Amino acid sequence: MNIKILVKILGFVLCFEAIFMLPSTAISYAAGQYDFLSFLLIFALMLAIGIPCSLLNVKRTKLYAKDGLTAVALSWILLCVAGCLPFYISGAIPSFIDSLFETISGFTTTGASILNDIESIPKGLLFWRSTTQWIGGMGVLVFALAVVPSITDSGINIMKAESPGPSTSKLVPRLRKTAIILYLIYTSLTILEVICLKIAGMSFYDAFLHAMSTAATGGFSNQNTSIGAYNSVAIEIIITVFMYLFGINFAIYFAVLTKNFRNAFKSIELRIYTAIMLAAYILITVNILNLYDGHILTALRYSSFQATSIMTTTGFSSTDFNIWPSFSKSIILLLMMIGASASSTGGGIKVIRIIIIFKSLGISFKKIFHPNIVKTVSIDEHAVDNNTIFNVLLFILLYIIVIIIATLLLSIENFDFMTTFSSVLTMIGNTGPGLEMVGPMSNYSIYSAFSKIVMSLCMLIGRLEILPILFLFIPNKRSYIK
Amino acid sequence: MKIIIIGDGKVGSTLANVLSKEDNDITIIDKNASVLNQTNDDLDVICIEGSGLNIKTLNEAKVQESDLVIAVTNQDEINMICCLYAKRMGAKYTIARIRDPEHSEEIKALMEELELNQIINPEYTAADHISRLVMWPTFSDIELFADNKVLLTKYRIDDSSPFIGKSLTDITDFDRANILVAAIERNYETIIPKGDFVFKKDDYLYIIGEVNSVNIFLQQRNKHNNKLNDVMIIGGGRISIYLAQILLKNKIKVKIIEQNPEKCINLNMLLPDAMIINGDGTDYDFLQSENMSSAGAFIALMGHDEANIIACLIAKKSGATKTIAKVTRIKGLNLIKDIGVDSIISPKLLTANHILRFARNLKVKEDPSINELYMMNENKMQALEFSVEHAYDFLNIPLKNLKIKKNVLIAVIVRNNKIIIPRGDDCVKLNDRIIIITSILNIVNLTEIF
């Protein structure tokens, strides 16, 4: 492992985090609240450590796939540890573990909180909480590749490790341009949402905060009752639409921008993603109709917002779906597992993996009847090789193993099974709210410090798609590296 | 520049590697997914799995927007048709690799019919290169500039060299011979030397100067400098045929050793003036009986790198003046030179150099001032020849007053057919040609060296 380049990358990560902290610091200053000094202190600290590290003169800039995994895992851990300091030092969240949980929940775009009274937290810190989500949504290392491509020759290995989905492909030949395009799409959509939310009646501050949380499919709000606090149909529709948009594979936006409409709308992932979502709308609406006295539009309003929020793994809530019937709750758990599209900002297993699995299952069945049949899985007219299928299977298997282990560890708390299980699912899927005791109107403060650490790890594992974090825990890694 | 490379073999990936570092957008098309995966991990390029003959694949690669399409798959016909398609779909320039000697007669017609901008024949390029080495036997590595007037070559410092331990300014031999030490290769790193540079054993000097000056300089220092009159070639492949043709034209005796009897008959038909011998080119006794020790040059051009290297080592040991081996694997070329083979020829690398030169020139289409380009030491350094055709603002200013970038050396100025090794007081004038040596690999324009 090339330690020097790793230090350099980590240095850049700190510098970028410091820069991203500036708006929050400014807001904190303008609001004149107690968190300003701690922001300033941490900003200076991050630059003081980050700049010398980033200036390191590295001769060998080659990063292998395994180095990419390590770099990404360590960067994210550093990002979270440094990012949690404002909460901890200002005293807004007195416990370090709690601050860390809150920040990891931010960067991994989970949106799970341990705060009982969100509205009592200073404005600057709340803004920082949503900023962490926005950074985490597209990934900080992708940002680094866009700004300073000279860090390494082999950025693709970093991008592969950081962006979600079974196969990472570049939009254009240059990695740097790809990263820039991704961030441009991401930023413009976010700004568009800010404008829409402002028009719908939010204040600029609220609009920015919610737009950033939506863009990252994160789900942090500055209201105790999340989006439900506004009780505005317009705002709910706007957020629903944008949650849906941010759950789409960003390659599709690029195809649309380059006027390649045929490819864009033929994408099977986009179609299945939309179909699953619409099916969930209908099923939940019918199921909860009774709760809303047969008002189909009211039922649709809540079901569509909630289904979109859960499937894109955002985790906003406009109502308490804890009181919904079991069938609806089961659908919500299912959506949580499926998640959004690959190369979007959403989490979960990802629709494309589900498609690949079902297609290969179909072929396996055909093989029973026609043992000599030759048929390959194809996605958008491109054959998927066996290696990719194997990796998808492996991913899902690991996903399930992590869920089982985490459930086992969380059940030490002795809460009911649904609370424990939904906590794990929502953490590894980067969604946010769970069911029962951790429902949309509750939070995770009921858990002990140990469970919070387990859940934090789940969030990181979910966001980075298992391998990078797992790689850090491989015992005797040296022998693997050599 | 948007460049599409069809065929991710050795030439394709070497090209992609160098071109992508020069800020071009590279798309590679190949049928083999596993090769593409490797390339995708190593290089900042986009890879598309598919055939270059498939319009859909070409569309996906956005051929219509591309500036240059390079077809280097292992089949001539595929390369031709790829280029034809690409041209029809809107690619600005196309280059095809066409290697079959069958086509070599109709090259001109093919180029016109297929609207190709350039054809490369790696085997012919290699043969051409080897023939130069044979005709100037004192050199191990040759590149000619300025209409073959300026020569860049490598010179190794051996145990007995008087240069060991001396610094560049202490040695007056170079000045007296009117040649320049342009670069030093030491431990696989290439350095542009300063005056206080101290020579060590096993350094390779890149020396540049007028052909005759360099020739005389090296002849004084080399023990054997007889002109080569006969050449022994092991292996009867395409390169051997081209090489034999060139050498025979220059009245050099050629002996070809080939193991396959049928091939021998074919060779005899093609090259009536050459002596064709059927036998094993790595068999010591057999080679001895064919007088390998007295051969002027021993050239191993068989299909296997290992066989070529072993044959050359045998020949060297039994006293061949000059040994040349063809090596296909590009990685680790330097290591082979260390064990005593005089020259290594890599057709792939030569081909890549050739295409690179063309691509660079395209980039400065409005100012096509690069005449020659030569990659040194595994692509770490290069020599470029420029024509000074515009009234740049650095003209007529003594070099010592100019701020030239680090790692750039103005090695030679050619003015009215006179070769000048520039000193601080010399200056560049309009219509000069200048040769620079640099480790900055993406220079395409003269203004970039200041």
In terms of CA atoms, which chain A residue is nearest residue B28?
A: A173
Question: Is A365 within the bounds of a domain?
Answer: no
Is residue B61's pLDDT more than 90? no
Residue A479, pLDDT score = 46
Helix or strand run (H / E) with residue B308:
helix B305-317
Reported as a pLDDT band with limits 50, 70 and 90, residue A316 is: very high
Q: Which of B387, B391, B407 is nearest to B450 (CA)?
A: B407
Nearest to A173 among B41, B42, B45 (CB): B45
Interface A:B, Cβ pairs < 8 A: 28
Average pLDDT over residues B314-334: 79
Q: B45: which chain A residues are within 8 Å (Cβ-Cβ)?
A: 173
Tell me the pLDDT tens digit for each residue of A39-69: 999 999 999 999 999 888 887 777 777 788 8
Residue B165 scores a pLDDT above 70: yes
Residue A463 lies in a domain: yes
Cα separation, A155 vs B273, whole angstroms: 56
φ/ψ region of B340 (left if φ > 0, alpha if ψ in -120 to 50, else beta) reads left
Minimal C-alpha gap between B5 and chain A (Å)? 12
Which residues of chain A does B41 touch, with a Cβ-Cβ cutoff of 8 Å?
Answer: 65, 154, 156-157
Residues of B in contact with A385 (CB under 8 A): 33
CATH number at residue B433: 3.30.70.1450
The minimal CB distance from B46 to the residues A170, A382, A385 is found for A170
- Residue B198's φ and ψ, nearest 5 degrees, are -105, 130
Query: Which domain range does residue A442 map to?
Result: 379-481
| Residue in chain A lying closest to B62 (CA) | A172
Mutate to test the interface with A, among B44, B66, B188 (most CBs of A within 10 A): B44
- Whether the CB-CB separation of A321 and A306 falls below 8 Å is answered with yes
Task: Report the residue of A172, A180, A257 to disrupt the B interface, i.e. the one with the largest count of B CBs within 10 Å.
Answer: A172
Q: Do A172 and B20 touch (CB under 8 A)?
A: no
Interface test with B, best of A66, A67, A156 (most B CBs within 10 A): A156
Verify whether the Cβ–Cβ distance A154 to B25 is below 8 Å: no
Alpha-carbon distance B422 to nearest alpha carbon in chain A (angstroms): 33
Query: In this predicted model, what pLDDT tens digit does every residue of A191-240 receive, in sequence order?
Result: 999 999 999 999 999 999 999 999 999 989 998 888 989 999 999 999 99
Long-range contacts of B250-259 (CB under 8 A, 24+ apart): B250/B131, B250/B135, B252/B134, B252/B135, B252/B228, B253/B229, B254/B230, B255/B230, B255/B231, B255/B290, B255/B295, B257/B232, B257/B233, B257/B281, B257/B287, B257/B290
Chain B residue with minimal CA distance to A384?
Answer: B33
Check CB contact under 8 Å for B46 and A154. no
Residue from A150, A152, A174 whose CB has the most chain B CBs within 10 Å, to mutate: A174
CA distance A111 to chain B (A): 34
Nearest-CA residue of chain B relative to A64? Answer: B41
Which residues of chain A are at the B interface, by a Cβ-Cβ cutoff of 8 Å?
A: 65, 153-157, 169-170, 172-177, 382, 385
Interface touch B45/A157, C-beta < 8 Å: no
- What is the tens place of the pLDDT at every residue in A161-188? 888 877 777 888 888 888 899 999 999 9
pLDDT, residue B300, reads 92
Tell me, what's the pLDDT at A405? 95
Asked if the structure places residue A391 within a domain, the reply is yes
Task: Summarize pLDDT for B116-155 with one digit per residue, the tens.
Answer: 888 888 888 889 888 888 877 666 677 788 777 888 888 7
Report yes or no on B241 lying in a domain: yes
ipTM of predicted assembly, 2 dp: 0.75
Give the closest of B25, B40, B49 to A174, CB-based. Answer: B25
Q: Residue B79 has which token pair? A: 């390369």
Angle (deg, nearest 10), helices A155-162 and A140-147: 150
CB-CB neighbors (< 8 A) of A177 in chain B: 25
Flag if B26 and A172 touch (Cβ within 8 Å): no
CA–CA separation, B334 and B354 (whole Å): 21
B40 vs A contacts (CB less than 8 Å):
156
Pairing of strands B381-387, B370-376: antiparallel
Residue B45 C-alpha from the chain's centroid? 24
pLDDT tops 70 at residue A1: no
Residue B354 included in any domain? no
* Model confidence at B366: pLDDT above 70: no
Q: Which among A153, A173, A382 has the least Cβ separation from residue B46? A: A173
pLDDT tens for B380-404 read 788 888 888 777 888 888 888 888 8
B439, part of any domain: yes
What is the structure's pLDDT at A481?
45
Residue A401 has pLDDT above 90, yes or no: yes
Q: Which residues of chain B lie closer than 8 angstroms to A69, CB-CB? A: none
pLDDT of residue A75: 92
Q: Contact, B436 vs B446, CB < 8 A? A: no
With beta carbons less than 8 A apart as the criterion, state whether A360 and A389 touch.
yes
Q: Is residue A462 part of a domain?
A: yes
In a domain, B357, yes or no: no
Asked if the Cβ–Cβ distance from A173 to B33 is below 8 Å, we say: no
Task: Output the 3-class SS for chain A.
Answer: CCHHHHHHHHHHHHHHHHHHHHHHHHHHHHHCCCCHHHHHHHHHHHHHHHHHHHCCCCCCCCCCHHHHHHHHHHHHHHHHHHHHHHHHHHCCCCCHHHHHHHHHHHHCCCCCCCCCCHHHCCHHHHHHHHHHHHHHHHCHHHHHHHHCHHHCCCHHHHHHHHCCCCCCCCCCCCHHHHHHHHHHHHHHHHHHHHHHHHHCCCCHHHHHHHHHHHHCCCCCCCCCCHHHHCCCHHHHHHHHHHHHHHCCCHHHHHHHHCCCHHHHHHCHHHHHHHHHHHHHHHHHHHHHHHHHCCCHHHHHHHHHHHHHHHHCCCCCCCCCHHHCCHHHHHHHHHHHHHCCCCCCCCCCCCHHHHHHHHHHHHHHHHHHHCCCCCCCCEECCEECCHHHHHHHHHHHHHHHHHHHHHHHHHHHHCCCHHHHHHHHHHHHCCCCCCCHHHCCCCCHHHCCHHHHHHHHHHHHHHHCCCHHHHHHCCCCHHHHHC
Chain A residues with CB inside 8 Å of B46's CB? 169-170, 172-173
Domain assignment present for residue B277? The answer is yes
Cross-chain residue pair B44–A157, CB shorter than 8 Å? no
State residue A61's pLDDT score: 74
Looking at the structure, tell me whether residues B14 and B98 fall in a common domain: yes
Are both B378 and B305 inside the same structural domain? Answer: no
Domain encompassing residue B112 = 2-120
pLDDT at site B141: 72
> Could you tell me which residues of chain B have a Cβ less than 8 Å from any Cβ in chain A?
2, 20, 25-27, 33, 40-42, 44-46, 49
Interface-testing mutation among B31, B38, B46, with chain A (most A C-beta atoms within 10 A): B46
Answer yes or no: is A304 within a domain. no
Cβ-Cβ contacts under 8 Å, B49 against chain A: 382
Residue A431 lies in a domain: yes
Which residues in chain B touch residue A174, judged by CB atoms under 8 angstroms apart? Answer: 25, 44
The last residue of a domain, from among B169, B199, B221: B221
Amino acid B390: pLDDT: 78
Q: What is the pLDDT of residue B223?
A: 53
Distance from CA of A49 to the nearest CA of B (A): 30
pLDDT at A114 over 70: yes
CA angle B152, B156, B158 (to 5 degrees): 160
Query: Which pLDDT belongs to residue B3?
Result: 92
State the average pLDDT over residues A295-307. 93
CA-CA distance, B346 to B354, in Å (whole number)? 12
Confidence of residue A482 (pLDDT cuts 50, 70, 90): very low
Q: Considering the domain boundaries, does residue A393 fall inside one? A: yes
Q: Is the pLDDT of residue A113 over 60?
A: yes
CA distance A290 to chain B (A): 52
Q: CB distance A175–B44 less than 8 Å?
A: yes
* Cβ partners under 8 Å of residue B311, min gap 6: B234, B281, B282, B287, B298, B300, B302, B325
Whether residues B46 and A153 touch (CB distance < 8 A) is answered with: no
| Chain A residues within 8 A of B42 when measuring between CB atoms | 154
Distance, CA of A476 to CA of A431 (rounded, Å): 33
Domain count, chain A: 1
Domain count, chain B: 4
Please report whether residue A396 resides in a domain. yes
Q: Which H or E run contains B17?
A: helix B10-21
Spell out which residues of chain A touch residue B2, defining contact as CB-CB under 8 Å: 173
For residue B339, is it within any domain? yes
B50: distance to nearest CA of chain A, Å? 10
Cross-chain residue pair A157–B41, CB shorter than 8 Å: yes
Least confident of B43-47, B88-92, B287-291: B287-291
Whether residue B236 is found in the same domain as residue B313: yes
